[in-house]
């Protein structure tokens, strides 16, 4: 049975649309952010767009810790292994994970693959692919990417292939892929982002589109796929796709970012949710 923590409904009710920070910028390449990584302390971040652009920035915060502004660097186009800009369909970048030594991994959806951005030569290096990647739907493959405390990479496709089929969790460790566990598919939600927090738990951000707007859900698991908890369900926000879980003063915080699809009627919202310790 799904264990819904009693506090989760309270936390979701307290998350209001007006509490989200709206990040706007006149640059025509701005927007479409599908992933975010927030470094410890909550100031420095990396954001990734689904049009193969990476940006580094800093959050300005008030005394209570709420975001009041963003300072960013250039929207840097990702390059291929030859140093040329990525073009479609190779440019659909969706997930980001930062390793303990600062190495940056990126997952892609159009052609399902993962790469590390700098192998020492200044150019990216593609990791080996799991055989399943070749059969994934082009617009529904490797949305979520996270890195574990041992340096293992975890990736989850947007769709599991069938409404009653769990989402497989792929792990890359020691040069080899396996599927150590799966997570249950509950309701119409699809996977759009993931992170492994400082607590060693897997956080999975999911999205549903109702025709009237977006709904978001955040679930937490241990690294065997168990101890499932629902941390948030909300229809208050735009298209939340990226998540980063970090620690401030000993407490966990989830920072989520919305993909505005570079459309004028959508917004790049940044939403932050304080998280309680795991219930077990």
Q: Which two tokens stand for residue 25?
A: 């910028």
Across the range 102-114, mean pLDDT stands at: 94
Q: What percent of the chain has pLDDT over 90?
A: 75
pLDDT for residue 88: 80
pLDDT for residue 96: 98
Interatomic CA distance for residues 232 and 70, integer angstroms: 25
**Within 10 Å of residue 101's Cβ, how many Cβ atoms?**
6
Domains of the chain with CATH codes:
6-275 (2.120.10.30)
- pLDDT value at 3 more than 70: no
pLDDT for residue 119: 63
**From the DSSP assignment, how many helices (H) and strands (E) are in the chain?**
1, 21
Cβ-contact 185, 228 below 8 angstroms = no
Rama region for 62: left / alpha / beta (φ>0; ψ in -120 to 50; rest): beta
- pLDDT value at 176 more than 60: yes
The DSSP result for 9-63, as a single string, is: HHHHHH--GGGSEEP----TT---EEEEEE-TTSSEEEEEETTTEEEEEEEEE-T
């Amino acid at each position: 049975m799904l264990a819904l923590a009693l506090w989760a409904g309270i936390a979701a009710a307290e998350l209001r649309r007006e509490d989200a920070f709206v990040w706007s910028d006149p640059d025509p390449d701005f927007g479409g952010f599908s992933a975010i990584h927030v470094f410890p302390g909550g100031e420095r971040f990396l954001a990734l767009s689904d049009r193969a652009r990476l940006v580094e920035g800093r959050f300005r915060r008030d005394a209570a810790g709420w975001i009041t502004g963003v300072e960013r660097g250039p929207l840097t186009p990702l390059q291929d292994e030859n140093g040329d800009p990525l073009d479609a369909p190779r440019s659909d970048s969706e997930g980001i994970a930062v390793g303990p030594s600062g190495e940056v991994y990126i997952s892609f959806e159009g052609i399902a693959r993962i790469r590390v951005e700098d192998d020492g030569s200044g150019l990216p290096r593609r990791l080996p692919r799991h055989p399943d990647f070749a059969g994934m739907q082009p617009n529904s493959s490797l949305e979520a990417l996270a890195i574990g405390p041992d340096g293992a990479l975890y990736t989850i496709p947007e769709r599991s292939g069938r409404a009653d089929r769990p989402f497989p969790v792929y792990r890359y460790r020691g040069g080899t892929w396996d599927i150590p566990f799966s997570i249950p598919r509950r309701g119409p939600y699809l996977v759009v982002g993931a992170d492994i927090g400082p607590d060693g738990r897997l956080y999975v951000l999911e999205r549903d589109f109702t025709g009237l707007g977006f709904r978001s859900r955040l679930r937490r698991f241990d690294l065997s796929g168990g101890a499932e908890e629902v941390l948030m369900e909300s229809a208050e926000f735009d298209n939340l796709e990226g998540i980063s879980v970090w620690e401030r003063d000993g407490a966990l915080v989830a920072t989520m970012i919305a993909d505005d699809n570079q459309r004028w009627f959508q917004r790049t919202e940044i939403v932050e949710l304080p998280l309680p310790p795991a219930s077990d």
